[in-house]
Structure 1
Amino acid sequence: MPLSDDEKTLLNRLQIKVLRTQRRNRVLEAYYEGEQRVEQLGLAIPPELRRFLTIAAWPGTYADEIAARTTLEGFELPDATEADSELWRIWQANGLDAESKLGQLDAIVRGGSFVVVGAGDADTPDAPSPEGGDDDRERSAEIPLITVESSDEMAVELSPRTRQPIAAAKFYTDDSVAHATLYMPNVTIWLERRNAAWVEVDRNEHDLGVVPVVPLVRGARLSNRDGRSIFTRIISLTDAAARALTNGQVATEALAVPQRHAAGMKPEDFRDKDGNPLPTWEAYFGAVWATQNPDAKFGSFSAADLANFDTIVSLYAKLVSGVSGLPMRYLGQATTNPPSAEGILADESRVIKQVEDFQTALEASYERAMKIAVRIRDGRWDPRMEQLETQWRSAATPTRAQAADAAVKLVQQKIIPREAAWVDLGYSAARRKKFAELFAAEEARDPILEIARALPAQQAAGGPVPADVGG
């Protein structure tokens, strides 16, 4: 079936959006990798000395720190006390432990990435089933396929009313052939570029009623739902620091060593005993500093004091710290004393809050993706998924001893149960289940608990109470 005029217009509109995003992404990626080009005023450093360009890699440090603290640990359905094992099975079968981290980092650096949900098939790799057996390949068809996509290849259009995607498209090249996938609420269309036109290859009338694409967005605003990079406010300061560092690099090469000078020299003083001109390096490193010319006078200039470059770079680091919330030690600025555990927590409070806000933005996206995945798997919308909760690892960095001490006190005072303490300590659902089994086995072997469990039955039967029990 050929594309309708509306579908062609929609596809072209989304492709233009992808091309615009690619240009912006190239700049942001350069800042993340520390490979950006810095425009010089041309006053201090001429173009031929651009090889001395030195970059302050603060944007990459900022992005990596936020990404490292953003870790999803599970999904919890209403009225449940543990992460749902089936939802987590879907998550892990698609390798989202690692893939979600990539998508989150792209959202931090570029402002957004995407999660695409589709039907699984027999070719989709899957983790072995808990029951084992040889039917893992068949089981994989029951698990929806969830992938994380880059904004270099994908774009969406949002409904002005619901703020949810009403269309999306992915553009990519495989074996020198341009491909596109157009996602709409009730149909997905696969296309190839042939003779400068998009030709439909296949389509799937899935009748989901929603676009199976979910944006992962950082820094969205009412005026910009596509999000913005975390670098936006520190790019100019990073460039300023790079210019100062580059000036310092040139000054180190040219002025850090005292420069010598000679006056009253004649052309023949720069020739060897055979009358040949001296090489420049030989003349500089000593050949002319001893001469029979009585009019020659020698001296040296003072070496330049480079401390001013440290001062200006430290100033820019403080400004970046003030804008980003990163502690100064993350920007290469040493503190006088090693920070205490309480000091670390206070120092990182703004970073922690940024991560928690980012997690809140991601929650709605991941929960919507899992809701669509369950719809694809079961063929119906599960009303319980409307109250799905996402579990996150703590964004703070308390010491292990601090966390354990707090957990022990909360359990001893019966503020939280033992299982809740395991969650606070960051243990996974699988390890918490194993802990519960180990504790149950240990309690079953405890002779005192065994006697205590037997007491009610013995008392009801009128039997004697063991002598070592009671007062």
Structure 2
Amino acid sequence: MRGARLRGTHGLFDEQEGQGTQGGDLEIADVLERHVDALSNRLSLAKPAHDENSAYYESEHRLKAIGVGTPPEMRMLVSAIGWPRVYVDALEERLDVEGFRLAGESYTDERLWSWWQANNLDVESSLAHLEALIHGVSYVTISAPGKLDDPDMPVIRVESPTSMVADIDPRTRKVRRALRLYVDELDPTQDAATLYLPNETIYFVRRSGAARWRIESRVRHQLGVVPVIPIINRERLSDRVGRSEITPEVRSMTDAAARIMMNLQATAELMAVPQRLLFGVAQDEFAANPENPGAVLEAYYARILAFENEAGRAEQFQAAELRNFVEALGELAKHVASYTGLPPQYLSFQSDNPASAEAIRSSESRLVKKSERKARMFGSAWEEVMRVAMLIMDQAIPKNAYRMETIWRDPSTPTYSAKADAVGKLYAAGMGVIPLEQARIDLGYSAEQRRQMRDWDNQNPTAQLNALLSGPRLPAREPAAEAA
């Protein structure tokens, strides 16, 4: 290791024997440590933004200045307004991957789906999507199976941007290097880091608070690519880093709603019940204890006050009207709906008459279209994950994998009867515009359910008779799976 040097655009990535070409001779360990320090600094700088994003999502954000017209002792009556979580969860709940299809194939690829299932990505992918929506990006790492893993399954893990950061090349838009920070499970007093480079993965450790990182081990995989894929949300041509789905306008509406809700609570505590005003009554007439005239009787709600002074009279102030607060909250909810595309029923404002099924579908159109856009963006990342997994397992990527397609569940919410009626008319007992397999896909059956249905179809006496008469026979398994 001491005899090797680094060279390249920044003296960073390419490892080979000989002299470096930039800045004199640099030891590999020193350059690698600079990688870790540079990326960890970026992670530290992003921590305040990550904390704020999480606070808004978890409804834990507290305003710096709130309640100008509210007594200081009542300014702790801040309510948690969960509109950011409602919006983010509504998007994430509609993003479900159902398989991958290679170019030229009619069926989803069973081998790729087995990798997905083996890594529990049914659950983990939802967490990755959620982190990307909250923070603007999440990451997926791919590695070869270890000694205790299934040798036919790559190891695919999702990572949060709060513990991982990647450097993306603005020219190729590929990851040049990535870093993951964590605490060593075997020794909690040690900090640990994993540095991902195009041709190797390096593991570092250091004592907590120590200034220098120490290389613990290195894995030279020679892939030529960094096995880290970012899932980026709200990417722009001028901003390839990604942004949170909890936009500034949603945050401002959430803050305003928190202020109004706090004022509503304060008003309800102080003025929601009519206040009494007594004239011509001496204070000692309200003494709870005759022996202690200073102890004034406390007047609670619905307590009857009686006094003997014939000149005394009682008046009361009108109770405060709370409707203005309620109307203000409703107006803010409408603004949030216009910014996010959430249907009215998601934010608890709608007409008294229940909406019809068609009205519900119409109100969800923007949310469905936005979910389809998210699926397209996130799908390209999952396709790249599978291509890198192929490279790790097969040392090559087949040509048809470069036109891979991610299959997503329909993000809309039609009723089952309406969907069955529409698909039935399109299929029309085999004489319609779509074949049987497409009808089953449109109805939402999974790949495994469709495979079992094909087995049952082939056991049908009519299908067996067609086979004897040289009629078409449905494949029991998908061709891509048999070839694999």
Indicate whether 1:181 and 2:194 are aligned: yes
Where does residue 137 of structure 1 map in the other structure? none
- Equivalent pair of 2:283/2:296 in contact (CA under 8 Å): no
Q: Structure 1 residues 246, 273: closer, same or farther in 2, change over 3 A?
A: closer
1:51-450 paired onto structure 2 within 5 Å = 51-124=76-149, 140-174=150-184, 175-194=188-207, 195-232=210-247, 233-277=249-293, 282-284=298-300, 289-412=305-428, 413-444=431-462, 450=465
Separation in 2 of the partners of 1:456 and 1:67? 48
SS at match of 2:111: helix
Separation in 2 of the partners of 1:102 and 1:382? 29
Q: Which residue identity is paired with 1:141?
A: P
SS at match of 2:162: coil
Query: Shift in Å at residue 440 of structure 1?
Result: 1.8
Indicate whether 1:6 and 2:31 are aligned: yes
SS at match of 1:166: strand
Comparing 418-427 and 327-336, the one that deviates more: 327-336
Where does residue 462 of structure 1 map in the other structure? none
Separation in 1 of the partners of 2:206 and 2:298? 64
Query: Shift in Å at residue 70 of structure 1?
Result: 0.4
User: Percent identity of the aligned residues?
Assistant: 37
Query: Shift in Å at residue 229 of structure 1?
Result: 1.0
Q: Structure 1 residues 74, 319: closer, same or farther in 2, change over 3 A?
A: same
- Number of residue equivalences: 438
- Equivalent pair of 1:3/1:200 in contact (CA under 8 Å): no
Comparing 101-110 and 25-34, the one that deviates more: 25-34
TM-score, length-normalised on structure 2? 0.86
Q: Which residue identity is paired with 1:206?
A: H
Where does residue 46 of structure 1 map in the other structure? 71
Query: Shift in Å at residue 34 of structure 1?
Result: 1.6
CA offset digits 1:28-86 (Å, max 9, x no partner): 11111222113444422233212321132111010111000000000001221111000
- Equivalent pair of 2:104/2:400 in contact (CA under 8 Å): no
- Equivalent pair of 2:136/2:232 in contact (CA under 8 Å): yes
Separation in 2 of the partners of 1:281 and 1:180? 67
After superposition, the CA RMSD in angstroms is 2.2
Query: Shift in Å at residue 455 of structure 1?
Result: 7.4
Q: Structure 1 residues 280, 109: closer, same or farther in 2, change over 3 A?
A: farther
Where does residue 460 of structure 1 map in the other structure? none
- Equivalent pair of 1:289/1:298 in contact (CA under 8 Å): no
Separation in 1 of the partners of 2:46 and 2:350? 38
Greater helix proportion: 1
- Equivalent pair of 1:22/1:151 in contact (CA under 8 Å): no
SS at match of 1:362: helix
- Equivalent pair of 2:103/2:403 in contact (CA under 8 Å): yes
Query: Shift in Å at residue 338 of structure 1?
Result: 2.0
Q: What stretches of structure 2 of length at least 5 have no aligned partner?
A: 2-26, 472-484
SS at match of 2:223: coil
- Equivalent pair of 1:269/1:288 in contact (CA under 8 Å): no
CA offset digits 1:126-161 (Å, max 9, x no partner): xxxxxxxxxxxxxx0231100000001000001111
* Structure 1: 4+ residue segments shifted above 4 A: 277-281, 283-288, 452-457
- Equivalent pair of 2:60/2:80 in contact (CA under 8 Å): yes
Separation in 2 of the partners of 1:372 and 1:146? 10
TM-score, length-normalised on structure 1? 0.88
Separation in 2 of the partners of 1:220 and 1:360? 12
Separation in 2 of the partners of 1:437 and 1:418? 14
Q: Which residue identity is paired with 1:371?
A: R
Q: Which residue identity is paired with 2:41?
A: I
Indicate whether 1:16 and 2:41 are aligned: yes
- Equivalent pair of 2:175/2:226 in contact (CA under 8 Å): yes
- Equivalent pair of 1:270/1:283 in contact (CA under 8 Å): no
Separation in 2 of the partners of 1:80 and 1:354? 28
Where does residue 24 of structure 2 map in the other structure? none
SS at match of 1:31: helix
Q: Which residue identity is paired with 2:96?
A: T
Query: Shift in Å at residue 436 of structure 1?
Result: 1.0
